[in-house]
Structure 1
């Protein structure tokens, strides 16, 4: 029965005109006669939850269990927003199916039931660059570590004089409940004179949504003024592993038709391309091949027409040098 339904869907996909099916054949196969009207206008998924491959502006996002409404509309919920890396939208508790087109007039949702896929074409303001790949992180677990470095030297001089020096560098760590504890000590023995020195002892927690790391205890300062200085206190710094490594270069333009293709070239070499919805668009963090060469931008509309404009190399250099500075908070005793 599922095979027959798939056949009907493919039929709809292969024609741009309104199609109808043989009602008597549908009835004889034990299928709902309303399928005739349901698939007549456009290819769509049956109501319910389906495992689909998601693309946003021609970028693969992976496979997710997506829910579709009674009319085949893709239902947006918080889980889908987090999975797809979208900006939060106002969701009402009594709303049965939220359509993202209501939030972004330029948005286009293209259902491809024959391929078990959904393509979304969204404006730049709908994309949440801060979300990154946080959804795929694994949390929890308990782990410990102990690193050590030992050495000892003995020096002998003329006569019976000798000098003995030993050193142990110890670094211990414990991870639990999304917190980590780190401590490092240096132990020395210089001809019987023993000494223990604490390099640092601190607890650390990563706020992955904010992409910030909090450290408290004996820490080394990370600031433009006291970089590397030992302090006792709290500091909040960007988590470099979660920060975007984009170039800081952005281009803006206008697409007349939905699903327009934007191509960016330097010296005739294609360095980037993507799909954008109709209306104004902005592409952030463009890849940069050479900072002294103009960017040639071509907008290829879905009707085959094209428009071109140039982003001067001087603007490219200014953008790459004007990335915002990292924020930093310290509370020191």
Structure 2
């Protein structure tokens, strides 16, 4: 009996293994396979659960080292926990929010009651049901290749912008000191008179960690008038990577984008577009579309191809365009795997105020105004903010306030249309001078840019401004107040 049982056991093992291997080749098929117990030999053959093989070579609960692919692109080799789920014959990959970040997939809304595949404690994180919370998503695991495939619409994939270095890899550079100078001496002598002068100018600085100290100045000596010296542009500056911004303490200039630029001694904090991915630093529309199959998306401008990519089925977003120029509309072609094509046009013109959708630019300054031709140098607060609302609109605003009764506010809008790009803003100023007289007025500014493709002619109205009689900019207002 012992020998017969062993023989039957070996037959059973070989046949079960054969069944599993036979189905490996159809692991990705949607068709289920049902195995018959009668083909198995042995006393316990009827007790073996063959249904677990109906969906392919099964995975049992445990931790597996797998190669993760997203939309057929290799992402990472990682240990993934597979868990048993009620109603599922095979163990399922436990994918958490942390995993999605590692896989470069945008975080979905997990408030859906079907979002959680298996609840776990906060340390481990809940296992997410991707097929429920991301439309058209799928998760497959190949036991033989130890490969985990996750397919999601392209719109859910985080962008890896070309030529962009992650802020975590940025460096401050070495500690250093620097000095540049210019020396000039003059001597002349005539009977009974000798004339001499010395002039020196310098620019110096020191880098210490993240901080940059800069200063410039000059020294002048003449026989008749003696010596004098002047220091200017003294400030310390540093990057703030988390805000994509620069901080300046000391002498600097306010931005001239919204109001007249003035010199101040104080603080300035402003966003630095050089810290953004290069494709986000300038304006271009974001292309939205839907692919029915694995499709090729081509974008042309002025008859030239400027972008091409392939996308999986579902919604896609292209937000890393680098157009060859402004003013020429973009033609988007979606070619499906069955050969069918769809084409649509995206207007594209720009003025300097335009920003990409979702991108902001801001500038905040505060300090004492430095103006040589006035005696009373007031304190100033100035702020401005630009934001790309969508492919067609950029809104911007600004404010100027001094402690000697000057106030100005600005509202503006940039528009991308099929007849060109426009910007329009209005500034309202209010100033009260010492004799209790008040001046109020408005200044209107408009610009327009359009490329006529038929003649390859670009027409640009850089800035047309009209001001009412009692409108005063900051420099004019400070001069009037000081009189």
TM-score between both structures, scaled by the size of structure 2: 0.50
Q: CA deviation at 1:76?
A: 2.7
Q: Structure 1 residues 318 and 147, CA, compared in 2 at 3 Å: closer, same or farther?
A: closer
The answer to whether structure 1 residue 78 and structure 2 residue 112 are counterparts is no
Contact 1:20/1:40, CA 8 A, preserved across alignment = no
Contact 1:9/1:43, CA 8 A, preserved across alignment = no
Q: What is the CA–CA distance in structure 2 between the aligned matches of 1:39 and 1:137, rounded to whole Å?
A: 47
Contact 1:108/1:121, CA 8 A, preserved across alignment = yes
| CA distances 1:200-259 after superposition (whole Å, capped 9, x unpaired) | 323534243x534444444332351457633234444223223242452233333334xx
Correspondent of 2:211 among 171, 178, 181: 181
- Alignment of structure 1 residues 1-333 onto 2, 5 Å: 11-12=24-25, 16=29, 18=32, 37=52, 40-41=55-56, 47-48=62-63, 50=65, 52=67, 54-55=69-70, 57=71, 62-63=75-76, 65=78, 67-70=80-83, 71-73=91-93, 75-78=95-98, 80-81=100-101, 84=104, 86-87=106-107, 90=110, 94=121, 95-111=125-141, 114=145, 116=147, 118-124=149-155, 126-127=156-157, 137-138=168-169, 143-159=174-190, 160-175=194-209, 180-191=210-221, 193-208=227-242, 210-225=243-258, 229-244=262-277, 245-246=279-280, 247-257=283-293, 260-266=294-300, 267=303, 269=305, 271-278=307-314, 280-289=315-324, 292=328, 295-301=331-337, 304=338, 306-311=340-345, 315-317=347-349, 322-323=354-355, 326-333=360-367
Unaligned runs of 5+ in 1: 24-32
TM-score between both structures, scaled by the size of structure 1: 0.68
Q: What is the CA–CA distance in structure 1 between the aligned matches of 2:68 and 2:240, rounded to whole Å?
A: 31
Find the residue that maps to 1:84 and give its secondary structure: coil
Contact 1:76/1:99, CA 8 A, preserved across alignment = no
Unaligned runs of 5+ in 2: 1-16, 38-47, 84-90, 111-115, 368-483
Q: What is the CA–CA distance in structure 1 between the aligned matches of 2:266 and 2:59, rounded to whole Å?
A: 58
Higher relative contact order (CA 8 A, sep 6+): 1
Contact 2:120/2:127, CA 8 A, preserved across alignment = no
Q: What is the CA–CA distance in structure 2 between the aligned matches of 1:172 and 1:39, rounded to whole Å?
A: 71
